[in-house]
Amino acid sequence: MDGFPDSSPRRGRGRPRDWHDKTEQNTIKSLDRAMEVFEHLSTIEGATLSEISGALDQSPATVYRILVTLESRGLVEFDGAEQLWQIGARAFVIGARYLRRTSLVERARPILRRLMEETGETANLGIGRGTEVLFVSQVETHESIRAFFPPGTLSPLHASGIGKALLARMDEAALNRFLARAHLQRFTEHTICERGALLSEMEAIRSRGYSIDDEEKTLGMRCVAAAVIDMHGEAIAGLSISGPTSRVTGERIQRFGTSVAGAARELSAAMGAVDP
């Protein structure tokens, strides 16, 4: 002992010292093959043994052993009448456990931060509450002039970037119910308050993949937003960036829209969306 504290790096709990090494010596080939079969089955309605082995270029004997093992765990099922292998109910149970531990706000934080850094503007997360958007998280820009929507802030759906992104994901019946009960208040000369104009705006949003609040709630401020969807393809939230018109200019909106839409797809995938 020399009297100095041990400065060698400490191993992370539950991981060996070389946990980051992904070379063959640290992988289990049989498990990797099994996961390949399992993932393939999860993407199709069902397949015969020969179809699975052919699609994955694995021997039928190997694939059969994998399937029987997965079947014993309930992860796949065999339809004897049709001779088809399918994903099993146990896979849903495990997936549901993952989703139970998934927090929308926690998952969104690193994505919001990257979105802010990429665009230079304040990034927001909001969810629908009746006829309004409830802002639940925000990462502020470092600029002195910036948008500010502290958690708990409410904004009407029709006059909000996130709100309009959520409206655009509604089916016709849900949108009609919203229009029947919502008061389309005018906040600025740019607020869309007419039913026909709002429906046309929904079509434009679906076409380009993101919404734009062009000084519709507050003069001098613009917002670009996109919806976040879940495993059922339903909109559960929206991501946006907000800033002054001097920075969120017409020339930059398309670039910002691409960034916001990409961030929304990333968060959608994290929330279980199959094809965000």
194 C-beta neighbours (distance < 10 Å), count = 11
Side-chain half-sphere of 186: how many Cα atoms within 13 Å? Answer: 6
Q: Report d(CA 226, CA 238) in Å as an integer.
A: 6
- Asked if CATH classification 3.30.1370.60 holds for the domain at 24-98, the reply, yes or no, is no
pLDDT band at 143 (very low <50, low <70, confident <90, very high): confident
Q: Tell me the CA distances in angstroms from 157 to 82, 122, 167, 193, 205, one per residue in order.
A: 49, 19, 7, 11, 14
**pLDDT the model gives residue 66:** 95
pLDDT at 2 over 80: no
Q: Report d(CA 152, CA 126) in Å as an integer.
A: 9
Would you say the CATH fold of 102-270 matches that of 24-98? Answer: no
Task: Please report, rounded to a whole number, the percentage of residues in the chain having pLDDT higher than 70.
Answer: 87
**pLDDT the model gives residue 18:** 52
Q: What is the mean pLDDT of the chain?
A: 87
pLDDT at 268 over 70: yes
Mean pLDDT of 126-142: 91
Listed in sequence order, the residues at least 6 apart from 170 whose beta carbon sits closer than 8 Å to its beta carbon are: 178, 235
Mean pLDDT of 133-153: 85
Q: Report d(CA 228, CA 267) in Å as an integer.
A: 7
Residue corresponding to tokens 């909109």: 235
Q: Report d(CA 197, CA 177) in Å as an integer.
A: 17
CATH of region 102-270:
3.30.450.40
Listed in sequence order, the residues at least 6 apart from 128 whose beta carbon sits closer than 8 Å to its beta carbon are: 134, 157, 163, 166, 235, 237
Q: Tell me the CA distances in angstroms from 204 to 3, 32, 244, 276, one per residue in order.
A: 70, 44, 23, 19
Q: Where are the domains of the chain?
A: 24-98, 102-270
pLDDT at 8 over 80: no
- pLDDT (tens digit per residue) in 165-180: 999 999 999 999 999 8
**Helix locations, the chain, DSSP H:** 29-42, 49-56, 60-72, 89-101, 104-119, 161-168, 172-181, 195-208, 250-270
pLDDT band at 253 (very low <50, low <70, confident <90, very high): very high
- Burial classification of residue 5, based on how many CB atoms lie within 10 Å of its CB (0-12 exposed, 13-18 middle, 19 or more buried): exposed
pTM more than 0.85 = no
Lowest mean pLDDT among 115-119, 131-135, 262-266: 131-135
